[in-house]
Amino acid sequence: MLRVVSRRLIQLFITLLALMTLIFFWLRSLPGGPVDALLGERATPETRARLIKALGYDEPIWVQYGHFLKNVVTGNFGNSIRTGEPVMDVISRSFPATVELAVAAIIIAIGLGVPLGYLAARHRGRALDNATIILTLVGISIPIFFLGYLLKDWLTQSVHLFPPSGRISTGMDNTDVTGLFVLDGLLTREFDASADALWHLVLPALTLATIPLAIIIRITRASVLDVLDADYIRTAEAKGLRNPTVRKRHVLRNAMLPVVTIIGLQTGALLAGAVLTEKVYNWGGLGTLITDSISGSRDYPVLQALILLAAVVFIVVNLLVDLSYAIIDPRVRVR
Amino acid sequence: MPLLDVRDLSVVFQRDNKPFTAVDGVSFTVEPGQAVGLVGESGCGKSVTSLAIMGLLPRRGNKVTGEVLFDDTDLLKLRPQELRDRRGRDIGMIFQDPLSSLNPVIPLGLQVAEVLERHQGKKRQEALREARKLLDAVGIPDPTRRLKEFPHQLSGGMRQRALIAIALACKPRLLIADEPTTALDVTIQAQILTLLKELVEGSGTALIMITHDLGVVAGLCDTVNVLYAGKVVERAARHDLFGAPRHPYTHGLLQSVPRLDVERGGRLHQIRGSVNDNIPWSEGCAFAPRCDRVIDACIGETVPLEPAFRGGALRCTNPVPQEVPA
C-alpha cells in the first residue's frame, strides 16, 4: 500500500510539473494579454511599458518561467492582476462554493444512479429498464444551460418553489466556518441558515448532477448485467442463498468495481468547477472565477493557480479511487 | 424408491427467435447413493438437464416441462423460495470452471461458511470453524490460512476442491457434478476424481456426473445415460456399456478413446460430421446422418427408447450386434 502511494506521489509531481509548464507557455501564447486588458486600446506606449515592467513581463520568458516555478514551490501564486489580491485569497473564496455544489451533485448522482442502474439491470428489457435507458440518453444529451434555465424558469418563476440564484438569501446572518454554507449552519447550530443554503443548493445541484447521474446509471446497469451472468452468481444460487445475500454480497460488490472508477472521474471533473451551471444560477464558484479571469483581464496568476488546483484535485480523487479499488478487489491488492 | 426421478424433462428456449429444444423428453432415475453418468458431446443437453433439475435456468425465455421428483416432490412445481431451501442443502452442485465459479472478491472461508449459515443456522464463527474442517477434508493444505485467502491465490485443483467442499458442506443427498475436471490439468483431474469418489462413497451421497469424457464415467459411475441431441439414446450399467455398447453413437464414442492395449500408429476412430448435421427427432433418428449403420428404417418417424439388455434402454433401429460380455 505504501509503495503504491509513494509511486503515485512521484507520478503526481511529474504530472504537475508538466502541466504547469504547459499552462505557463500556453497562456502566454494566446493573443492579447493582461496589459491590453487592463489598459485598453488607447494607452500610450509609456504607460504600457511601465505596466509591463511592473508586472515583470519585460524579462525573458525563461526567467519569468523560473520565477513562476520558484513561487509555486514556495506556495506563492502572486497577486491577481484584476483585483490585486493574493491569488490564494481569491481562490479560497470561490473554492468552498464549488465544493458544496460538486459534493451535492455527486451525492445525488450516486444516491440515485446506483439504485436505478441496479433496478434497470434486474428488470432488463422491461418497462422500467427501457424508461431508464431513455431518460439517461436525455440526461446525457440535453445541454446543461438549457436544462438549467428550463428548471430555473419553471421551478422559480412559474412555481415559486426554489430561490432563483445565489447560495444563500441576502440578509441571512450566517457565520462562515468552512465556507460550505450548509455545513456551517449545522456546525454553528444556525439551522435556518443551513436550510436556506440547502434550498438554494437544490436546483444547481440537480442541474449539475444530470450528466454524472446518467453515466452512473448506465455503467451500473451494464456492470450488474455482466455480473448477473457470471458463473459465481450461479454458484451462489446453487448454494440456495437468499436473494438479499446474493444481491448484496455477490452481485453489488463485484458490480461496483467499474462504477467506482466512473464516480472518481466524474467527481474530479465536478470539483474543477462547473462553468455553465454556475452561470445559470449565479453561483460564485471556481467556474465563475475561470470565466472572469479569462474574459475580463487574462488574469495569468489566477488562471495558473486554478488549473493547477483542478489538476491536483483530479489526481487526488483518482488516487482515492485506486485505493478504494484495492479495498474492494483483492486481486488489485497483491500487486 | 429412487431419490431422484426425472420424467419426460424437456427444455425449450428461444434461439434467434426460434424455439430450440435443448432437452427433449429425458427420463432417468438416481437411487440413493448411486452414481449416474450423463454423457454426450457439447450441445447434447446434458448441462441444461442439470441446470433444469436445480432450477438454475433463467426463468425468462425458457420453457421447462416434465417432472423432476426428488423425494416424491416435484422440484419444477416448487415456489422459488422453497427451491432455495433445498438447493445447497439437499442437492449440491459443482461446476466446470472453478476459477470463474468462485466469487473473486470474497474470502474463501466466507464462501464456504455462508452455505452453512444459510441452511444450518450457524453463526459466522462457528460456520468458519466448520469451513476449516471441510477444506481440510477435501485435502486443501493449511486450511486456516486459506480461509482468509481469495480464489486467485489458489491453484486450479485447489479451487475445485474448495467448490466440492462448498457443495458437500451441508451433506446433501445428491451431488450434481457438471464437467468438474474439464478445466483442470490431467494430473489434477485424476486427484479430483479420486476425491469425489471417496467423498461420495464415504457419505452415501448420490451423484450425477455430467461429462463428455468416457474415462471419467468408467471410473465413477454405476449407470450411464448417453445423450444425443437432447434425448437419451442408450442407458446401461457401466460394465454393459463399456463391454457391449449397442447404440452406434456410443460405439463410436468408445472407439474414439485412445487405448493402451491397442497397437500404436493406427488412426483413432472418429465419428464423422458434427452435431450440426442432425435431423430433427420428429423425422427419424437425429444421429442418422452421421451413423455408419444407417438403414432406411432410421428415417421417417421418431425412434422410441425401448427396454434393452439387463434393465438398460436403447433408441436404435439397427443396433450394433450384441456380444455377450463375460
pLDDT per residue, tens digit, chain B (326 aa), is 899 999 999 999 887 888 888 999 999 999 998 999 999 888 888 999 999 999 998 877 788 999 999 998 999 999 989 999 999 999 999 998 888 999 999 999 999 999 999 999 999 999 999 999 999 989 899 999 999 999 999 998 899 999 999 999 999 999 999 998 888 888 888 888 888 888 888 888 999 999 988 888 888 899 999 999 999 999 999 988 888 889 999 988 888 877 777 666 777 778 887 777 788 888 889 998 888 888 888 888 888 898 887 878 999 988 888 765 54
For residue B309, count other CB atoms closer than 10 A to its CB. 15
In the β-sheet with B312-314, what is the strand arrangement from edge to edge? B91-94, B174-178, B206-211, B35-39, B223-228, B231-237, B312-314, B306-308
Whether residues B88 and A235 touch (CB distance < 8 A) is answered with no
| Contact status of A230 with chain B (Cβ, < 8 Å) | yes
d(CA A213, CA A104): 12
State the amino acid at position B33 in one-letter form: G
Whether residues B114 and A253 touch (CB distance < 8 A) is answered with no
User: Looking at the partner chain, which of A231, A245, A328 has a beta carbon nearest the beta carbon of B114?
Assistant: A245
Predicted pLDDT of residue B262:
67
Is residue A233 within 8 A of residue A248, CB to CB? The reply is no
Whether residues B54 and A240 touch (CB distance < 8 A) is answered with no
State the amino acid at position B208 in one-letter form: I
Tens-place pLDDT, residues A118-138: 999 998 888 999 999 999 999
Give me the CATH code for the A95-333 domain, please: 1.10.3720.10
Is residue B106 within 8 A of residue B96, CB to CB? The reply is no
d(CA B85, CA A299): 69
Whether residues B102 and A239 touch (CB distance < 8 A) is answered with no
The stretches of chain A forming alpha helices (DSSP H) are 2-29, 34-39, 45-55, 61-73, 87-122, 127-141, 144-152, 181-187, 191-228, 231-238, 243-245, 253-271, 275-281, 286-295, 300-328, 330-333
Residue A206's closest CA among A283, A138, A121, A107? A107
Q: Report the greatest alpha carbon distance in chain A.
A: 86
* Cα three-residue angle B274-B279-B282, rounded to 5 degrees: 150
For residue B324, count other CB atoms closer than 10 A to its CB. 7
H-helix or E-strand spanning residue B119: helix B108-120
Residues on chain B touching A235 (C-beta within 8 angstroms): 95, 101-103, 163, 166
d(CA B246, CA B325): 12
Predicted pLDDT of residue B65:
93
Residue B213's closest CA among B46, B56, B94? B46
Whether residues B56 and A250 touch (CB distance < 8 A) is answered with no
User: Looking at the partner chain, which of A241, A328, A334 has a beta carbon nearest the beta carbon of B105?
Assistant: A328
Is residue B272 within 8 A of residue B262, CB to CB? The reply is no
Specify the length of chain A in residues. 335
Residues on chain A touching B95 (C-beta within 8 angstroms): 231, 234-235, 238
State the amino acid at position B190 in one-letter form: A
List the single best residue of B53, B103, B171 to mutate versus A (max A Cβ within 10 A): B103
Is residue B44 within 8 A of residue B229, CB to CB? The reply is yes
Whether residues B166 and A232 touch (CB distance < 8 A) is answered with no
Sequential DSSP letters for B238-302: HHHHHHS--SHHHHHHHHTS--SSS-TTSPPP---S-GGG---GGGB-TTGGG-TT--GGGBSSP
d(CA A318, CA A264): 6
Based on the number of CB atoms within 10 Å of its own CB, is B186 exposed (0-12), middle (13-18) or buried (19 or more)?
exposed
Residues on chain B touching A328 (C-beta within 8 angstroms): 105
| Contact status of B208 with chain A (Cβ, < 8 Å) | no
Residue A39's closest CA among A303, A297, A300? A297
Whether residues B167 and A238 touch (CB distance < 8 A) is answered with yes
Low-confidence ranges of chain A (pLDDT < 70): 1, 296, 333-335
Is residue B178 within 8 A of residue B47, CB to CB? The reply is yes
Cβ neighbors of B105 (< 8 A, separation 6 or more) are: A253, A254, A328, A329, A330, A331, B150
| Contact status of A335 with chain B (Cβ, < 8 Å) | no
Whether residues B101 and A234 touch (CB distance < 8 A) is answered with yes
In three state form, how does the secondary structure of A140-206 look? HHCCHHHHHHHHHHHHHHHCCCCCCCCCCCCCCCCCCCCCCHHHHHHHCCCHHHHHHHHHHHHHHHH
CA–CA min distance A261, chain B (Å): 17
| Contact status of B324 with chain A (Cβ, < 8 Å) | no
Based on the number of CB atoms within 10 Å of its own CB, is A140 exposed (0-12), middle (13-18) or buried (19 or more)?
middle
List the single best residue of A232, A234, A249, A252 to mutate versus B (max B Cβ within 10 A): A232
Please name the residues between 103 and 162 in chain B that touch chain A, using a CB distance below 8 Å. Answer: 103-107, 114-115, 118-119, 150, 152-153
d(CA B180, CA B38): 13
Would you state the torsion angle of the CA atoms of residues B36, B72, B168, B166, taken in this order, to the nearest 10 degrees? Answer: 110
Whether residues B115 and A241 touch (CB distance < 8 A) is answered with yes
Residues on chain B touching A334 (C-beta within 8 angstroms): 153
In three-state secondary structure terms, A79 is strand
Residue B221's closest CA among B203, B243, B206? B206
Specify the length of chain B in residues. 326
The sign of the CA dihedral A263, A267, A270, A272 is negative
Predicted pLDDT of residue A192:
81
CA–CA min distance A153, chain B (Å): 45
List the single best residue of A122, A129, A235 to mutate versus B (max B Cβ within 10 A): A235
Whether residues B54 and A250 touch (CB distance < 8 A) is answered with no
From the CA atom positions of chain A, what is the Rg in Å?
Answer: 24
| Contact status of B197 with chain A (Cβ, < 8 Å) | no
Whether residues B105 and A253 touch (CB distance < 8 A) is answered with yes
User: Looking at the partner chain, which of B86, B89, B100 has a beta carbon nearest the beta carbon of A231?
Assistant: B100
| Contact status of B57 with chain A (Cβ, < 8 Å) | no
The CA distances from residue B259 to B9, B210, B266, in Å, are: 35, 22, 11
The CA distances from residue A26 to A21, A70, A101, A288, A310, in Å, are: 8, 19, 29, 21, 16
Predicted pLDDT of residue A334:
54
| Contact status of B1 with chain A (Cβ, < 8 Å) | no
Based on the number of CB atoms within 10 Å of its own CB, is A258 exposed (0-12), middle (13-18) or buried (19 or more)?
middle
User: Looking at the partner chain, which of B114, B150, B167 has a beta carbon nearest the beta carbon of A241?
Assistant: B114
List the single best residue of B93, B105, B174 to mutate versus A (max A Cβ within 10 A): B105
| Contact status of B180 with chain A (Cβ, < 8 Å) | no
Residue B52, C-alpha cell as written in the block: 433444469
| Contact status of B163 with chain A (Cβ, < 8 Å) | yes
In the β-sheet with B18-30, what is the strand arrangement from edge to edge? B18-30, B4-15, B62-70, B73-74
* Structural domain spans, chain A: 2-73, 95-333
Hey, which bits of chain B come out as E strands?
A: 4-15, 18-30, 35-39, 62-70, 73-74, 91-94, 174-178, 206-211, 223-228, 231-237, 306-308, 312-314
